Structure 1
Amino acid sequence: MSVLKNSRIYAILVAVGLVMTGPAHADDVTRIGVAAPLTGNNAAYGKDIENAVKLAVAEANASNIIVAGKPLKLAVEAGDDQADPRTGVQVAQQLADKGVSVVIGHFNSGTTIPASKIYTNAHVPMITPAATNPTITEQGSQYVFSIIATDAQNAGAAGRYAVDVTKAKRIAIIDDRTAFGQGEADEFVKAVTAAHGNIVDRQYTNDKAVDFSAQLTHIKGQNADLVFFAGLNPQAGMVKKKMKQLGMRAQFVGGGGVVEPTFLEVAGSDAQGAMAWEYGTPIAALARGKEFEAKYQRKFGTPMLSYAPFAYDATWAAVKAMQAANSTKPADFLPKLREQVYAGITGDIQFTASGALTHPSTTLYEVVDGKWTSVKTIK
Structure 2
Amino acid sequence: MAKRCPDTGWFRKVSTTPSPLLALILFSLAACGKTEAPAPPASDTITVTIAHAGPLTGSIAHQGKDDENGVNLALDQANAKKLKIGGKTVTFKILSEDDQGDPKLGTLVAQKFVDAKVAAVIGHLNSGVTIPASEIYAKAGIPVISGSATNPDLTERKLKGVFRTVGRDDQQGPAIAAYIAGELKAKSVAIVDDKTAYGEGLATEVDKSLRKAGVTMVGRERTTDKETDFKSILTRIKSRNPDVIFHGGMDATGGLMLKQARELGMKSVFAFGDGACTEEMAQLAGPAGEGLACSQAGLPAEAASKEFLDAFTKKYGPTKLYAPFFYDATNVVIEAMRRADSVDPAKFTPEMYNVSLAGATGKLEFDAKGDRKDAEMTIFRMQGGKIVPVAVVKGGVATPFTK
TM-score by length of 2: 0.85
1:54 maps onto 2:72 in alignment: yes
1:142 maps onto 2:157 in alignment: no
CA-atom RMSD in angstroms: 2.1
1:92 maps onto 2:107 in alignment: no
**Which amino acid in 2 is paired with 1:97?**
D
Label 1:26 to 1:148 Cα distance change in 2 as closer, same or farther (>3 A): farther
Alignment check: 8 A CA contact 2:45 2:88 kept: no
1:310 to 316, 325, 334: 325
TM superposition shift of 1:95: 0.5
- SS of 2:97's partner is strand
1:356 maps onto 2:376 in alignment: no
1:208 maps onto 2:226 in alignment: yes
Indicate the residue corresponding to 1:228 in structure 2. 246
TM superposition shift of 1:374: 1.1
Indicate the residue corresponding to 1:9 in structure 2. none
CA distance in 2, matches of 1:248, 1:42: 26
TM superposition shift of 1:84: 1.0
Alignment check: 8 A CA contact 1:37 1:43 kept: yes
TM superposition shift of 1:26: 12
> Which consecutive segments of 4 or more residues in structure 1 shift more than 6 A?
24-27
Alignment check: 8 A CA contact 1:352 1:358 kept: yes
1:193 to 190, 197, 211: 211
**Which amino acid in 1 is paired with 2:96?**
A
CA distance in 2, matches of 1:351, 1:264: 35
Indicate the residue corresponding to 1:7 in structure 2. none
1:116-166 per-residue CA deviation (whole Å, 9 max, x = no partner) reads 000000000000111111100001011100111111111221112222332
- SS of 2:96's partner is strand
**What aligned pairs does 1:176-325 form with structure 2 within 5 A after superposition?**
176-286=194-304, 288=305, 290-300=306-316, 302-325=317-340
Indicate the residue corresponding to 2:13 in structure 1. none
1:74-123 per-residue CA deviation (whole Å, 9 max, x = no partner) reads 11111221211111111111111111111000011111110000000000
Indicate the residue corresponding to 2:131 in structure 1. 113
TM-score by length of 1: 0.90
Alignment check: 8 A CA contact 1:54 1:76 kept: yes
CA distance in 2, matches of 1:100, 1:32: 6
- SS of 1:166's partner is coil
TM superposition shift of 1:167: 2.2
- SS of 1:276's partner is strand
**Which amino acid in 1 is paired with 2:355?**
Q
Worse-superposed segment, 64-73 or 138-147 = 64-73
**Which amino acid in 1 is paired with 2:260?**
K
**Who wins on radius of gyration, i.e. which is larger?**
2
Number of aligned positions between the proteins: 360
Alignment check: 8 A CA contact 1:348 1:359 kept: no
**Which amino acid in 2 is paired with 1:378?**
V
Label 1:25 to 1:128 Cα distance change in 2 as closer, same or farther (>3 A): farther
CA distance in 2, matches of 1:25, 1:144: 32
Alignment check: 8 A CA contact 1:170 1:198 kept: yes
Alignment check: 8 A CA contact 2:44 2:88 kept: no
Indicate the residue corresponding to 1:331 in structure 2. 346
- SS of 2:81's partner is coil
CA distance in 2, matches of 1:237, 1:111: 22
Can you give the 5+ residue segments of structure 2 that lack an aligned partner in the other structure? 8-33, 395-403
TM superposition shift of 1:259: 2.2
